[in-house]
């Protein structure tokens, strides 16, 4: 059976990896936690360095959301260690999360992190995995564009708010142009509920299919 790259909703494939923190087994070692696996094209490159600093600056915010960070590139572990040391010595930022050394490209190929049109290095991919080891979101950026870490934080917060309150999250939440920091009530699935929705005092509605509330 031909292996394909994972998709949203798939269980994260089991794999063993060497990292700057020693050997890990994904997703088993992170069971019960969210984790973000993000790939970068190469160590000792300017955009990647800004990304690692940006992730580290927000690392405690991710941990407060029960979410861990894991970096990855096809560099060797020695390169990762030296680069992390360089960041500490020159930028005074200690990288606290592990970085996978995938020098054979085995993991990157399995996860779809190498795109033929961008050479043999990993693109800037982000896989967001929930506590049940399900892949919930996948983001891809080209090599020349650094990621927005605040958006990645927003995704984790949005998933958690949606699950806890059984709601949907609007665009640009929590600063949506129509409803601010409120959330969207799932549309009714029958006529009776649709008619009741408009008369309800429990939340505000633009129409029966578009109601929202504070949480």
How would you write the pLDDT of the chain (215 residues) with one tens digit per residue?
446 789 999 999 999 999 999 999 999 999 999 999 999 999 999 999 999 999 999 999 999 999 999 999 989 999 999 999 999 999 999 999 999 999 888 999 899 888 776 666 788 999 999 999 999 999 999 888 999 999 999 999 999 999 999 999 999 999 999 999 999 999 999 999 988 888 877 889 999 999 999 99
Structure tokens at 49: 């360095």
Q: Under CATH, which architecture does the 166-213 domain have?
A: 2-Layer Sandwich (3.30)
Domains 15-147 and 166-213 share a fold: no
**211 part of the active site:** no
- Let me know: does 121 contact 41? Beta carbons within 8 Å: yes
Question: Is CATH 3.40.30.10 the right assignment for the domain spanning 15-147?
Answer: yes
pTM, rounded to two decimals: 0.92
Catalytic residue among 48, 67, 205, 211: 48
Tokens 């129509």: give the residue.
Answer: 178
In the chain, domain spans? 15-147, 166-213
């Amino acid at each position: 059976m031909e292996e394909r790259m994972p998709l949203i909703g798939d269980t994260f494939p089991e794999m063993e990896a060497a990292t700057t923190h020693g050997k890990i087994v994904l997703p088993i070692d992170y069971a019960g936690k969210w984790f973000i696996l993000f790939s970068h094209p190469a160590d000792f490159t300017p955009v990647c360095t800004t990304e690692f600093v940006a992730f580290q600056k927000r690392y405690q915010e991710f941990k407060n959301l029960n979410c861990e960070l894991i970096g990855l590139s096809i560099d060797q572990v020695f390169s990762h260690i030296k680069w992390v040391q360089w960041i500490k010595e020159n930028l005074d930022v200690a990288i606290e999360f592990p970085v996978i050394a995938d020098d054979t490209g085995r993991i990157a190929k399995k996860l779809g992190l190498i795109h033929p049109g961008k050479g043999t290095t990993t693109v800037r991919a982000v896989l967001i995995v929930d506590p049940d080891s399900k892949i919930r979101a996948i983001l891809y950026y080209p090599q020349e564009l650094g990621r927005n870490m605040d958006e990645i934080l927003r995704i984790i917060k949005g998933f958690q708010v949606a699950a806890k309150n059984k709601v949907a999250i609007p665009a640009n939440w929590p600063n949506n142009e129509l409803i601010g920091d409120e959330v969207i009530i799932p549309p009714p699935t029958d006529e009776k509920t649709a008619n009741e929705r408009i008369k309800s005092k429990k939340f505000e509605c633009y129409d029966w299919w578009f109601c929202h509330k504070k949480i």
